[in-house]
Chains A and B, each alone.
Chain A
Amino acid sequence: MSSFLDPCAKCEEVLQPFLDRELTEEERHAAESHLDACGYCRKRYRFEESLRRYVRQAWDEPMPPDLKAKLAELRTPLL
């Protein structure tokens, strides 16, 4: 398993759970100390963060204004 020998490969492996805040504290510290020392990985983490923001913007489409009224009509009529 090369990732245990190569710190950049290990860092690449935890990129997603790192950004999803799903790493344990210990794992997060390990990734952060590698990132402090490694410009190669740091650039790629920064890219990934901006990619996520950018992707969310692209996917974001607010609810059409009349839909909420339609949903409210589905409510149980008051007795």
Chain B
Amino acid sequence: MTNPEPEADARRLAEAGRDRARFEEEVLELADQVYRVARRLVSTREEAEDLVQETYARAFRSWRSFQPGTNLRAWLFRILTNLNIDRGRREQRTPDTRPIEEGDYFLYNKLEEVAPVEDADRVVERLSQDSIVQALAEVPHDFRDVIVLVDIGDFSYQDAAQILDIPIGTVMSRLHRGRRILKSELAEEAVR
């Protein structure tokens, strides 16, 4: 098909180029947030860097699938979490069947059992920063993804549901269970 308006065509191309460049700028501005989340989705810094680079390569390639006016952060983090799921972690998935009867006050109560709590704001300092990083690594992936998106990515339950393509009720139950597992890990550390 011949184009009767080559100038209009060139203009459209130039506009598309500008839109694309703007899109890429906006996506790059989110890099720090993407890295911070990626870092806690995987075990090592190297893996996190690879994951972020793959995410950006895919985001730049598939920019046309982003609908302007919708949530760019959620779109980008969806690429990140999908790539992370694709990175073969399905093989290592085992259902988490540990019983978690404890309520949400469990960790505080445990710390209080070990030694009286003078100051509720400072009792956390009994936990080492390393043990907190280690405790998150012990949380199974499905639960960890939700914790990381909500607690590090600052996403709402609704956004986390959209990113992970799961119902909001599942976000809530995974968050609930994931945080309980995390606290059980920390409690074990606290009484050691």
Residues of A in contact with B (beta carbons under 8 Å apart): 9, 12-13, 15-17, 20, 22, 43-44, 46-48, 50-52, 54-64, 67-68, 70-72, 74-76, 78-79
Contact = CB atoms under 8 A, between A and B. Distances in A.
Contacts of A79: 17
A71 B52 contact: yes
Interface in B78-118: 103-105, 107-108, 117
Contacts of A46: 120-121
B24 A50 contact: no
B20 to A, nearest CB: 6
B124 A72 contact: no
Interface of B: 17, 20-21, 24, 28, 31-32, 35-36, 39-40, 45, 49, 52-53, 56-57, 60, 103-105, 107-108, 117, 120-125, 127, 129-130, 132-133, 136, 150-152, 156-157, 172, 175-176, 179
Given A59-B136, A63-B35, A48 B151 contact: no
B119 to A, nearest CB: 9
Contacts of A61: 35-36, 39, 45
Contacts of A75: 24, 28, 60
Given A59-B133, A71-B28, A78-B21, A47 B123 contact: yes
Contacts of B129: 57-58
Contact of B157 (A22, A56, A64, A67): A22
